[in-house]
Structure 1
Amino acid sequence: MTQTVLPGAVDWTGDNPFVYLKTDPAGDWSSLSLFFRITSSVHGTGHLILVVTDPYEADLAKAIGLTDNEPLARFLIDDFASHFALFRPTQALKNPTLHTNAVFTQSLGDSEWVESATDDTAQTTIAMRWQNLGAPFAVHQPKHESGTTRHEMLSVFRPAQSGTVEVNGTPLPGATVERDFFGRRAQSAAMALSETWIQA
């Protein structure tokens, strides 16, 4: 009989879109940004916007996060983001600046999807934008291919034609670039929807 139920515990499920920017298309990434909207996890529900600038410059690399659930945010950073391929080389996630009183908003239009967060106590606002989303496609990554190599990952991706990130109203420098993405070519910005990480 075909097995229809995956046996592992679900660490989290939700949305995890990203925007990765380069100032030089042939150079290293100038910033790596992730958004999490978690609908179920071992640390409850909540949100996190995480922005790493100059990730591979030892003296310049910085990570800032806005969240409404600090234990969840630290779990996502320590157990997941830190293990994702592009984030592994950076030292910034060892000691991120994390503001924990953020309020999150979402704006959906015909050609633009915006996720933003504001922490009035820290006087910090971050907005991530994805423009001109493509058709969705589903992915199932086995353990040995996933970002942590400890989980199976399922997700629905919608690549964007472009993406931007603003911190306190100022756009981060750089632009998305075309790259290989699950057997196709796409810009380095995409929605990752209904993403689920299952212990393998």
Structure 2
Amino acid sequence: MSSVRTTKVDWTGDNPFIYMKKDPAGDWTSLSTYFRIAASDYGRGEAIIVLENPYGNESDQAVRKCLTNNLELARYLVKDFVRHFGLFRPAQEALDQLEYVVDASFTTEADYPKKQVCTAHSAATNTTLSLVWNDLGKPFAVVLTPEESQTGKHEMLAVFQTAESAQVLVNGTAIEGQPIERDFLNGRAQSAALANSESWVRAK
């Protein structure tokens, strides 16, 4: 295999996630992810997505928000990537209800490897979303073929660090649930992890 990829890089950056359940034997009760994009056709930008009750058709109380500083980029990531990620595929109706907030500012705080906190704040709506990863494991690198990747159209390269525990905070209040251990790549790991240096390269 050539060490140089000649096909298009659709985006590169970081994409950590926190997927939580209230009951380990039940459905996922929240799916949250953070994009920090370094390069794409839509420029650079950031977005935090929190999708509570992702598989419910109607839920006025559920948090379904995307805070971003690049709306065009955020909509592209949701349409062409998030909707194709395995756990989000059954959540199409919830994604249709996603509220986009476009004035977000972002901060990252880290006491590495004990904790990392990524926060988005919207002054216009007085909304703050924070994703918290605790007790990070050792980093490991992966290269997924198009057949293995979530879109089926890209080779995906990334460095993962799973977290032993995690929280999703909405205006300082933790939403219910916790990560669970699940099958992850070639082993078992908690359903919360950093995903750094992530790149999606189109298949030939």
TM range (shorter): over 0.9
For the residues of structure 2 that align with 1:21 and 1:81, how far apart are their CA atoms?
Answer: 16
Amino acid at match of 1:183: N
Structure 1 residue runs of 5 or longer lacking an equivalent are none
Q: 1:115: which partner in 2? A: 118
Which residue of the partner structure matches residue 186 of structure 1?
Answer: 189
Q: Shift of residue 62 of structure 1?
A: 5.3
Secondary structure in structure 1 of the residue aligned to 2:79: helix
- TM-score, scaled relative to structure 2: 0.95
- Deviation, structure 1 residue 7: 2.1
State the one-letter code of the partner of 1:143. Answer: P
Question: 1:140 maps to which residue?
Answer: 143
Q: Distance in 2 between matches of 1:47 and 1:12?
A: 12
> Structure 1-normalised TM-score?
0.97
Aligned length: 199
Pairs within 5 Å for 1:1-200: 3-60=2-59, 63-90=64-91, 91-110=93-112, 111-200=114-203
CA distance in 2, matches of 1:95, 1:129: 24
What is the rounded CA distance, in whole Å, between the counterparts of 1:175 and 1:96 in structure 2? 22
Partners of 1:8 and 1:147 in 2: how far apart?
18
Q: CA RMSD in A?
A: 1.0
Answer yes or no: is the 8 Å Cα contact 1:14–1:40 preserved in 2.
yes
Deviation per residue, 1:122-169 (Å, 9 max, x gap): 111000000000000011111111111111100000001011100111
Percent of aligned positions with the same letter in both sequences? 48
Secondary structure of the residue that 2:4 maps to in structure 1? Answer: coil
Show structure 2 runs of 5+ residues with no match. none
